[in-house]
């Protein structure tokens, strides 16, 4: 890593200082960033390489301990075309008229965006190739989701994870934004609400998972009267795939809405108040003030917190593990839980392969998000 720092915006007045201090000041760029870079680098490279290697091996027990046999891409092949295909990708069925229409509409949208980009002013070859690749991979993922969820097929762990991420992060964002806007008002008692709204995030994830297992118990949980009313006390709700997924998602939304809430709150609170005052003088209503003033200014913070939540949401594991144990069948199993279960069954290589597939999917989503959305937002701000 060689970071050559140069002052971009703040001029440095070095003339009045001793040579040593001046020199230290010139290398400030490196001093600021190198500690963090070195810590992350030292701590990330070895695990990354080691688990890549492990994902290409099979663990076996032999005399005198364990042995790793190199199997190349065998573990990956098992997931994509082999016996674990239904577990990982799901059971796909031939297209029905409904799914065909849905897919056509979505692919049409992709094509429209690509054409619009080609006609736009800022087009470059690299930009087009990047968008084309993005569209192809996103198209494949969309097909997988549509074909396993909207048909008689069965979604695999990758599809379940995508559903969790999509639903959870959007629900959390909308809730958090609403709550943040409510508590920035000068209402009496707002400090109480601010602290209360943070509480779910502070409980250890394992604890939240057990807490929701208590709450969703149909015979001795607090919602017993509700279940009794519908005559559901004997049927465990975990027998219904969508019911179980819904329970997992409610738990996740409950726990992580505070994360987005506090970032948006801090961001709104640190906005200069003059713009709002001027808008009030001009007779703008609240709705206009939000869209014209507040929302554009919190967009950078928004795009950051959503990216962090996206990455973290892909790693959801405690809730499905404790709440439903991934069941019924594998209906609520996320990719991390998938990796965890086969890891417990001592298929270390297979587990690392699942984790690497997850890494590939998250990297794809992350890069697309940064390039297509975040860059535009930060350029605007």
Partner 1 sequence: MVVSYALLVAWALVVLFPLYWLATTSLKTPLDVNGGPFYIPFRDFQPTLESWRYIFVDLADDTFRPYLNTVVVGLTSTAITLLLGSMAAYGLVRMKYRVHIGAIASFVLALAGAVAVVAAGGPWQLALLGGFAFFLLLLQTVGRRFKRALGNDDIAFWMISQRMLPPVAVVIPIYIFFQQLALLDTWAALIIAYVASHLPIVVWLMRDYFQSVPLELEESAAIDGASRYRIFRSIVLPLAVPGLVATFLFVLVFAWNEYLIALFLTSANAQTLPLTVAAQNATRGPQWWYMSVLILIMIGPVIAMAIALERFIARGLLVGAVKG
Handedness of CA 228, 229, 235, 237 (dihedral sign): negative
Residues 196-225 that bind partner 1 (CB under 8 A): 196-207, 210-215, 219-225
Q: How far is the CB of 265 from partner 1 (least distance, A)?
A: 6
Binders of partner 1 among 81-110, rule CB under 8 A? none
Distance (Å, whole) CA 191 – CA 184: 10
CB of 285 to partner 1, least distance (A): 15
Nearer of residues 28 and 372 to partner 1, judged by Cβ: 28
68 Cβ contact list (under 8 Å, min separation 6): 54, 57, 58, 59, 60, 349
| Contact string (CB under 8 A) for partner 1, positions 178-197, x = contact | xx--xxxx-x---x-xxxxx
**Least distance (Å) between residue 173 CB and partner 1:** 15
Tell me how far, at minimum, the Cβ of 77 lies from partner 1, in Å. 19
* In the complex, minimum distance from the CB of residue 232 to partner 1, in angstroms, rounded to a whole number: 14
Task: Name which of 199 and 372 has its Cβ closer to partner 1.
Answer: 199
Of 125, 273, 281, 380, the one binding partner 1 by CB under 8 A: 273
What's the token pair of residue 232? 């559901």
Task: Name the nearest CA neighbour of 316 among 370, 250, 238, 242.
Answer: 250
Interacting positions 293-332 with partner 1 (CB under 8 A): 300-301, 304-305, 307-308, 311-312, 314-315, 317-318
Phi, psi (degrees; rounded to nearest 5) at 70: -75, 125
Yes or no: say if 36 and 26 are a contact pair by the CB < 8 Å rule.
no
CB nearer to partner 1: give 167 or 271: 271
Residue 70 interacting with partner 1 (CB under 8 A)? no
* Least spacing, CB of residue 86 vs partner 1, in Å: 21
Q: Output 93 or 202, the one with its CB closest to partner 1.
A: 202
CB-neighbour burial class of residue 379 (10 A; exposed 0-12, middle 13-18, buried 19+): exposed
Among 76, 88, 164, 254, binds partner 1 (CB under 8 A): 254
CA–CA dist 234, 221 (Å, integer): 13
Nearer to partner 1, 24 or 280 (CB): 24
- Give least dist CB 310 to partner 1, A: 10
Q: How far apart are the first and last CA of the chain?
A: 30
The backbone torsions φ and ψ at residue 103, rounded to the nearest 5 degrees and listed phi first, read -65, -40
156 phi, psi to nearest 5 deg: -85, -175
CB contact burial 165-202 (16+ within 10 A = b; e otherwise): bebbbebbbebbbebbbebbeeeeeeeeebeebeebbe
Stretch that binds partner 1, among 95-103, 126-134, 142-150, 260-268 (CB under 8 A): 260-268
The answer to whether 332 touches 244, Cβ cutoff 8 Å, is yes
> Alpha-carbon distance 45 to 287, whole Å?
48
Residue 48 or 101 with smaller CB distance to partner 1:
48
Measured CA to CA, the distance from residue 322 to residue 231 in angstroms comes to 25
Contact with partner 1 (CB under 8 A) among 76, 88, 256, 259: 259
Name the residue nearer to partner 1 (CB basis): 149 or 223. Answer: 223
Binding residue (CB under 8 A) for partner 1 from 1, 83, 105, 126: 1
How far apart are the C-alpha atoms of 359 and 366, rounded to whole Å? 10
Nearer residue to partner 1 within complex by CB, 16 or 119: 16
**Restricting to residues 344-373, which ones interact with partner 1 according to CB under 8 A?**
348, 351-352, 355-356, 358-359, 362-363, 366-367, 370
Q: How far is the CB of 358 from partner 1 (least distance, A)?
A: 6
Cβ atoms of 303 and 373 within 8 Å: the answer is yes
Give the total of residues touching partner 1 (CB under 8 A).
120
Looking only at residues 18 through 57 of this chain, which bind partner 1 when binding is defined by CB under 8 A? 21, 24-25, 28-29, 31-33, 35-37, 39-40, 42-51, 54
Q: Which stretch binds partner 1 (CB under 8 A): 149-157, 240-248, 278-286, 343-351?
A: 343-351
Backbone angles phi, psi at 154, to 5 degrees: -130, 125
């Amino acid at each position: 890593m060689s970071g050559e720092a140069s002052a971009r915006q703040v001029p440095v007045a070095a003339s009045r200082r001793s040579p040593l201090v001046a020199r230290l000041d010139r290398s400030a760029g490196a001093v600021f960033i190198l500690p963090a870079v070195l810590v992350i680098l030292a701590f990330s490279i070895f695990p990354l390489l080691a688990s890549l290697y492990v994902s290409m091996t099979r663990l076996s027990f032999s005399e005198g301990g364990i042995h790793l046999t190199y199997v190349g891409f065998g573990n990956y092949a098992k997931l994509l075309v082999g016996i674990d295909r239904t577990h990982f990708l799901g059971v796909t069925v031939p297209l029905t008229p409904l799914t065909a229409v849905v897919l056509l509409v979505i692919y049409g949208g992709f094509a429209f965006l690509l054409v619009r980009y080609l006609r736009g002013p800022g087009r470059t070859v690299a930009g087009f190739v990047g968008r084309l690749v993005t569209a192809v991979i996103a198209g494949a993922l969309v097909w997988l989701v549509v074909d396993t969820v909207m048909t008689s097929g069965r979604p695999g762990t990758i599809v379940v994870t995508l559903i969790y991420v999509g639903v959870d992060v959007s629900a959390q964002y909308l809730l958090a934004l609403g709550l943040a806007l409510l508590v920035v008002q000068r209402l009496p008692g707002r400090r109480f609400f601010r602290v209360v709204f943070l509480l779910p995030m502070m409980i250890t994830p394992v604890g939240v998972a057990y807490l929701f297992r208590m709450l969703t118990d149909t015979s001795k949980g607090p919602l017993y009267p509700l279940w009794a009313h519908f005559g559901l006390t004997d049927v465990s709700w975990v027998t219904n795939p969508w019911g179980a997924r819904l329970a997992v998602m409610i738990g996740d939304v409950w726990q992580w809405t505070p994360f987005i809430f506090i970032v948006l709150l801090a961001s709104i609170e640190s906005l200069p108040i003059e713009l709002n005052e001027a808008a009030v003088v001009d007779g703008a209503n609240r709705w206009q003030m939000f869209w014209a003033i507040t929302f554009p200014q919190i967009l950078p913070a928004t795009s950051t917190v959503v990216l962090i939540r996206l990455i973290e949401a892909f790693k959801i594991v405690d809730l499905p593990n404790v709440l439903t144990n991934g069941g019924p069948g594998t209906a609520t199993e996320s990719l991390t839980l998938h990796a965890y279960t086969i890891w417990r069954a001592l298929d270390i290589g297979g587990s690392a392969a699942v984790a690497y597939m997850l890494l590939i999917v998250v990297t794809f989503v992350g890069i697309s998000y940064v390039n297509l959305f975040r860059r535009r937002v930060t350029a605007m701000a």
